[in-house]
Structure 1
Amino acid sequence: MSSTGKFELLCLENPLLDIQGTGDEKLLQKYGLKPNDAILAEKQHMDLYQELMEKHDAKLIAGGAAQNTARGAQYCLPPDSVIYIGCVGKDEHAKTLEKANKEAGLKTCYRYDEEQPTGRCGVVITGHNRSMCTDLAAANCYKIEHLKENWELVEQANTYFVGGYHLTVCVPAALALAEEAAKKNKTFFLSLSAPFIPQFFKDQVDQCLPYTDYLIGNETEARAYAAAHDMNTEDIPTIAKHLACLPKKNAKKPRAVIITQGTDPTVVAVGAEGEEAQLSKYPVHSIEQSKINDTNGAGDAFAGGFLGGYMQGRELKTCVDMGQWLAQLSIQELGPSYPYPKQNYKAS
């Protein structure tokens, strides 16, 4: 496969505006947050966003995990290669997202909700950790009818990426893409996104996994999946191999499971139902601590780089290397963003 710039990659999830500020343990404790976690906001979290703005010099940054990933993939690909779908409000925050995506060359096809404001994510930075608290708002209002109204975009694409956060919003839309991929031998990517997705939305994940050709997650998400499925192990290679060999709708393609582990090696398992999965490990390229600016969005950047490599037809190990390369670039920027002038990938 080689991307030709005709919107071959379609990404679906929750568009959010990140409200990102530097905090401390006291702030985390006040709102019941953990240093390196992601949760959905509840009533007791609603004052966090204003507090970040007023007391923590918060920056407004285009966010939403799969939207970050879509921008990352577009960063690696020819113009007009990627389109992103989600739901926003009719407000200034939506205009901020539109501007950031336009500057990145990412085309969007938003549903605009008449009542809810654009979703927001409070990001509390403590050292090299980030705690994310998301108020979905309009993002929670995505409807499958919007996808059906824009089905020509689905037909045009040959690869679909669904962020796991969307499984809290509109499972029918995710499954529509998954089924289309299996039916027409296209490719379906799923991200686990956060530990609470496989933990509290276990059934939704299990609905999508049979259609999944590529599953991307990190070690805490993989262990949350294992715990939710009573696997009685925290061993990442064991979990990855198990996931790779689960039943699959499209037997023409093996499933690849990619688990990142921060600075520890990235684990990749490739397998098919009834077979022993092949396991590989890829060391992460080191970077000086002094160069790390912000780890928010590093996982999204990895997925974007991996997707970029996949869309260019590169082999699996090169896709992993591209993911690590883009993540390394991203953590030297502020928030989930990428450096400009645009840098070109070079194999490490």
Structure 2
Amino acid sequence: MTHTNLHSEASNSQNISMKAPNLLLFGNPLLDVTVKVSDDELLKKYNLDRNGQAEVSLDKLTNIFNDARARYRTFKYSLGGSSLNSARILATLGQRNLLFFGAIGNDQNGKVVREILKRSGVNSCLQELNTRTGTCVCLYQGSDRSLIANIGAALKCEKSHIEANISKFETDVEYYYIEGFFIPEKMDICRYLYNKYSQNLNTLLITNLNAPYIVKNFQKDITWLVKKADIVFGNRDEFEELASINGLASMDDLIADLLGGYTKTHRQKVIIITDGSNPVLCYEGNVNGIETNIIEVPKVKHDKIIDTTGAGDSFVSGFLYALMKGSDMRQCIELGCKISSIVIQTIGCNLPKNINVEELS
């Protein structure tokens, strides 16, 4: 049994009329548990990368969390999931003309997700399933973070849920954002969104590679989505993995393949590659040629970097905020970099409530 709530977090009502959104985001909503660690004992015990991402069984995740809580005692609950992180930062920036789609469980963690969503001001359309809400434990130490997740209910979001609710807004939506983590078991939704709302239409389909293991483990699906998308985000490691699984010898070959195969003639496809504190590379093009831009990243002193967990998701938020305001690609990337540079100086993917985005633009 499932049910759906179309929920505006600016209201206490569960089913209300709301302003038609301009941006729809699709992702895996998670309850994040952030733990500050002071050594590598847990990482060694559970064979975890100091700065990596992994999906594990519920039993293993529970053991990791119980060990972390007993050893380090201090932890914090927050909302997680790539698209949802981006939606939250957008809301903090003042852009609430959006709607997040995903699935949670009919459990206590699901209630916590709803409560935090309510406070964050993010409009959501959540399918509620009789299973466990997705959870992610983040072990952070300095600027490194190890993310260990069990996707739970988020993995089971159904196409029927999307179809039944998206039709209420379809004529007003300009942007569709699908996180790479959304691909497993939900490619029917990705194909539906492309076929009905992107192919041959003047809308933007945007995606994110999100993690090398997603690229490696879902080669066919991620390649399909990346080739169909109008804008693609990812870091250097993720794009290098994409090149490798497709048998391409270099990043240049990958860019040429992705942009040269873009079939829309009224716009250019955009590839954006981040690389930590190194410059962002932006490639724009189609069958008629490729343009490359290099954008410097604001420098943040190492001792100011607290948690890089939300660096990529907050970069996307700044980019989308500027894009929805009509900014050009360079301006979008510059704002993305500025927002990300602020977020990495806090715990989790969060912005100060009093931030003035106009001063940053």
TM norm. shorter chain > 0.5 = yes
Q: What is the aligned partner in structure 2 of residue 131 from structure 1?
A: 146
Q: Partners of 1:256 and 1:66 in 2: how far apart? A: 19
Tell me whether 169-178 or 103-112 shows the greater mean CA deviation.
Answer: 169-178
Root-mean-square deviation over aligned CA pairs: 1.9
Corresponding letter in the other structure for 1:223: E
Q: Partners of 2:253 and 2:36 in 1: how far apart? A: 34
Tell whether the 8 Å contact from 2:279 to 2:296 is kept in structure 1 after alignment. yes
Q: What is the aligned partner in structure 2 of residue 40 from structure 1?
A: 55
Tell whether the 8 Å contact from 1:241 to 1:278 is kept in structure 2 after alignment. no
Tell whether the 8 Å contact from 2:279 to 2:297 is kept in structure 1 after alignment. yes
Q: Partners of 1:205 and 1:153 in 2: how far apart? A: 26
Q: What is the aligned partner in structure 2 of residue 82 from structure 1?
A: 98
Q: Does 1:169 align with 2:185?
A: yes
Tell whether the 8 Å contact from 1:189 to 1:215 is kept in structure 2 after alignment. yes
Structure 1 residue 288 displacement after superposition:
2.4
Tell whether the 8 Å contact from 2:248 to 2:254 is kept in structure 1 after alignment. no
**1:167-206 deviation line (CA, Å, top 9, x unaligned):** 0131111222222122432110000011111111011112
Pairs within 5 Å for 1:239-258: 241-242=255-256, 244-258=258-272
Q: Does 1:268 align with 2:267?
A: no
- What's the TM-score, normalizing by structure 1? 0.91
Pairs within 5 Å for 1:275-286: 275-286=288-299
Corresponding letter in the other structure for 1:138: A
Q: What is the aligned partner in structure 2 of residue 219 from structure 1?
A: 236
Pairs within 5 Å for 1:74-113: 74-78=91-95, 80-113=96-129
What percent of counterpart residues are identical? 23
Structure 1 residue 48 displacement after superposition:
1.1
Structure 1 residue 77 displacement after superposition:
4.1
**1:50-85 deviation line (CA, Å, top 9, x unaligned):** 22333232211110111001112233344x411101
- What's the TM-score, normalizing by structure 2? 0.88
Q: Does 1:298 align with 2:314?
A: no
Q: Partners of 2:190 and 2:55 in 1: how far apart? A: 19
Aligned with 2:162 (options 147, 151, 172): 147
Aligned pair in 2 of structure 1 residues 243, 139: CA closer, same or farther (>3 Å)? farther
Structure 1 residue 331 displacement after superposition:
1.3
Q: Matched residue of 2:188: which SS?
A: helix
Aligned with 2:226 (options 191, 209, 229): 209
Runs (4 or more) in structure 1 with deviation over 6 Å come to none
**1:111-161 deviation line (CA, Å, top 9, x unaligned):** 0002x1110011111220111111011111111010011022344321000
Tell whether the 8 Å contact from 1:244 to 1:269 is kept in structure 2 after alignment. no
Q: Matched residue of 1:157: which SS?
A: coil
Tell whether the 8 Å contact from 2:263 to 2:286 is kept in structure 1 after alignment. no
Q: Partners of 2:305 and 2:137 in 1: how far apart? A: 20
